[in-house]
Structure 1
């Protein structure tokens, strides 16, 4: 997905700080695939055999990634022990470099297109997670409505300055899309801690089918059904399953107001469509193509729901 540096690219004092957290010397580091941060994402092993996951970034790679690493550190530190997430072992923040040292998770990303057994395991895990983090256990988490207000205004920005390659159906239905996104935003009240970025590369599945949710910088307080709804964008993108059927059978989404779900998907489609036309952020050259692919997967689905 993105282009990233590795463990050996970190300054010596940053590597030493990570080793201080671990209490031992790192003798092996293996860069991990997935995600968009241009910083490190390494599974490391120490001389004594301890394993951990290290992610580190500085403004030289991408300034926004530094902010996200700090947010992830705050959020992960506040997660309850029973949440299916990696544990924060320590943080190094020298004002330039931010390095997170997390427990190593024995697992891999789900296979794409989604396998039925892995999708079922993830959906079950999200049901358990919603129970575990309701009421919201992270007091500093903002509301998801506050976090998504600007994102869900994407269709307003597009209407004011339509790109020449705008999808013809979207061009003809901008008013409906703006209204739907507003309805979706208004439906995001709730007292559940939501991850807000659920997709395959933020999930790990072990050999026993246990699921761990990783990368929590965007966590916010909202409805229990939202993460499942967001995951289904990834399912729609990669194919193999009917996301509408999944919505109907999931206990978290089956009884949600259909207009609320349509509004959320309209808001996300606007965010992806608006984002995809912008220049790539520093150090993350592939994110715009990924946003475009998500918009192209979402728009026909939104069109069917608005019909």
Structure 2
């Protein structure tokens, strides 16, 4: 549950105002659910974006992760972290306010080209900010297809059931195939892009991880398909990005199969969000496309 500004402890609000000035109004965004508090703070002189979480929350690591990564991100690619503080059990981060609209990723959209240019820039980012956060380690902790092979859920998709041995095999290899030294966002979706005057800003680096540079374009393939692209059209868009063109075919197919398992598992869990089932269905289409073509 997200807190309103006035519901935060007075000590926390005072500490924030000591950093940025008197808060006149707090506007809660429609999107975003990983923070217990997030808002654009209207100040006497300008605006800042603030997010916060209780320090003992299991998700607090994401806020610490974003605070560590932000200083290494090029100016213009992501809003600058202005300050972060911990007070009375709350971890609070204050960022430059980023204006803009979320991009349209549908076929023939004018937003596709600038978004591709921005994603292509990721491969030049250093990974030294996240030495202990790798997508390989994240994936190795949850072998969904192996678990399903041992105890298939009653609602397992027929195609998944038919190809379960192959999915288990690809999942077992995937955590090594996605390993690398690039700094990844790993949560690229329309809500985490802002476009203003043709310039693209990427927000919410909480899930930043180290891995293969082609992984972020691969996540984008699923998001493009969710916006109406065919698998071929989405992969054609990704081919503009050098890291994608260099990705081994087997690695991308293993990625698609593993993402499907992870998202299907989440859809069945208490952590499922309203859009989880739709994204899982899209991921299934892409995984099927790649597995059957292999």
Is the structural similarity TM-score above 0.5? yes
Tell me the equivalent position of 1:299: 284
Tell me the equivalent position of 2:112: 119
Question: Secondary structure at the residue paired with 2:79?
Answer: coil
Residue number among 94, 101, 114 corresponding to 1:108 in the alignment: 101
Residue number among 63, 72, 92 corresponding to 2:66 in the alignment: 72
CA drift of 1:38 comes to 5.1
CA contact (8 A) 1:93 1:99 kept: yes
Q: Distance in 2 between matches of 1:173 and 1:12?
A: 56
Q: Which runs of 5+ in 2 are unaligned?
A: none
Tell me the equivalent position of 1:96: 89
CA contact (8 A) 2:105 2:111 kept: no
For structure 1, which segment, 256-265 or 66-75, has the greater mean C-alpha deviation from structure 2 after superposition?
Answer: 66-75
Tell me the equivalent position of 1:63: 57
CA drift of 1:137 comes to 3.9
Q: Distance in 2 between matches of 1:214 and 1:137?
A: 19
Pair 1:41–1:157, CA change in 2 (3 A): same
CA drift of 1:264 comes to 0.7
Q: Distance in 2 between matches of 1:107 and 1:141?
A: 32
- In the TM superposition, structure 1's runs of 4+ consecutive aligned residues that sit over 3 Å from their partners are 80-83, 111-115, 247-250
Q: TM-score, normalised by structure 2?
A: 0.90
Q: Distance in 2 between matches of 1:167 and 1:139?
A: 36
State the aligned residue count.
290
Question: Secondary structure at the residue paired with 1:93?
Answer: strand
Q: TM-score, normalised by structure 1?
A: 0.86
CA drift of 1:82 comes to 3.8
CA contact (8 A) 1:195 1:218 kept: yes
Q: Which runs of 5+ in 1 are unaligned?
A: 281-286
CA contact (8 A) 1:183 1:263 kept: yes
Superposed CA RMSD in Å reads 2.2
CA contact (8 A) 2:122 2:213 kept: no
Tell me the equivalent position of 1:159: 149
Structure 1 residue 268 corresponds to structure 2 residue 256: no
Larger RCO, structure (CA 8 Å, separation 6 or more): 1
1:1-307, aligned counterparts within 5 Å? 4-22=2-20, 24-37=21-34, 39-47=36-44, 49-58=45-54, 63-76=57-70, 78-82=71-75, 84-94=77-87, 96-111=89-104, 113=106, 116-131=109-124, 133=125, 135-138=126-129, 140-151=131-142, 153-206=143-196, 208-240=197-229, 242-280=233-271, 287-307=272-292
